[in-house]
């Protein structure tokens, strides 16, 4: 506003005073949480001011450039407001562009009201309007990119998380195996719940789901530093890294097995004791991940066939 007065653009300066007053009144809407009407009114005020400024001053001051930035704001609103009930946001994109081309063509065909103005005012105002326009574009594109990256990260996380137990699934397992730099001191343990079909048949699938959730929770709590995933059904896999030897790993797994065995699983009027059988294997010399899983699986089935409720290494 001071620049407009100093440049002798008095009419536009008075219009700007009216715009500032209108913006001030608009903040009253925020106190009442009228966010959509606030945005709509502010956007329209901005649109009118830019149009009037371009008609009065022509293209040399660059007021019309800010409409490009405004279209970015409108597009961002259109993209992110679908689930928040904001209407006609897409129309704002086309309205901004229509006004942009309309005042551009008008200014090319007719002389502006202010035909003479200081050179410094043209440079300063054109620079300010250019910065405002590019700032709109930069800020909202940055927000769009950050949101997209956040969404991508969330989708990746959800696709690698078991829906029932909220631990990693087999896709998360393969990602983790790829990330381990030194596998020579790693051990893979696979375990499942003994006679789980009997548990489901006796107490129902709701109770069975509860057991799976509790087993995963207790395992994660007992071995917080180790990677845990639900491999499928009632099968779980543990990756134990930086272990000194197999004996140390077996001791950890025996403690886990004993803890599960001593736990009484009570839910919705049902109570049962659960046991698990664990097979563990060191990283194979072949370096084949599938062979590593198969080796631990073979050990687990050895335990199943020799009485269950044990750790086989």
Catalytic positions, please? 234
Instruction: Evaluate whether 304 touches 256 at the Cβ level (below 8 Å).
Output: no
Q: Rounded distance, CA 181 to CA 199, Å?
A: 39
Helices (H) and strands (E) in the chain, counts: 11, 7
Residues 158 and 135: their CA atoms lie apart, in Å, by 34
In whole angstroms, how far apart are CA 98 and each of 91, 112, 122?
Answer: 10, 20, 25
Nearest by Cα to 280 from 247, 311, 243 = 311
- What is the torsion angle, in degrees rounded to the nearest 10, for the CA atoms of residue 255, residue 261, residue 262 and residue 266? 130
Give the whole-angstrom CA distance, residue 226 versus residue 168.
12
């Amino acid at each position: 506003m001071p620049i407009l007065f100093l440049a002798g653009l008095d009419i536009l300066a008075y219009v700007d005073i009216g715009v500032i007053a209108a913006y001030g009144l608009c903040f009253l809407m925020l106190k009442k949480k009228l966010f959509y009407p606030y945005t709509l009114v502010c956007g329209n005020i901005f649109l009118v001011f830019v149009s009037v400024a371009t008609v009065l001053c022509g293209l040399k001051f660059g007021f019309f450039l800010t409409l490009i930035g405004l279209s970015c704001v409108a597009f961002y609103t259109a993209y992110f407001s679908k689930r928040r009930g904001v209407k006609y946001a897409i129309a704002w994109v086309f309205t901004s562009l229509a006004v942009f081309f309309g005042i551009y063509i008008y200014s090319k065909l007719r002389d502006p009201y202010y035909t003479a103005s200081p050179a410094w005012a043209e440079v300063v105002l054109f620079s300010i309007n250019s910065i405002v326009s590019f700032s709109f574009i930069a800020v909202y594109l940055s927000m769009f990119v950050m949101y997209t990256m956040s969404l991508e990260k969330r989708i990746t996380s959800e696709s690698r998380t078991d829906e029932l137990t909220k631990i990693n699934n087999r896709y998360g397992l393969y990602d983790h195996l790829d990330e381990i730099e030194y596998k020579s001191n790693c051990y893979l343990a696979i375990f499942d719940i003994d006679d789980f079909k009997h548990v489901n048949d006796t107490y129902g699938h709701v109770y069975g789901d509860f057991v799976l959730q509790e087993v995963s929770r207790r395992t994660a709590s007992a071995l917080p530093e180790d990677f845990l995933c639900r491999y499928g059904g009632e099968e779980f896999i543990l990756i134990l890294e930086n272990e000194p030897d197999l004996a140390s790993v077996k001791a950890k797994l025996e403690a886990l097995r004993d803890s599960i065995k001593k736990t009484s699983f009570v839910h919705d009027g049902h109570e049962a004791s659960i046991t698990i059988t664990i097979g563990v294997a060191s990283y194979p010399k072949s370096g084949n991940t599938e062979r590593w899983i198969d080796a631990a699986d073979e050990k687990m089935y050895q335990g199943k066939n020799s009485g269950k409720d044990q750790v086989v290494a």
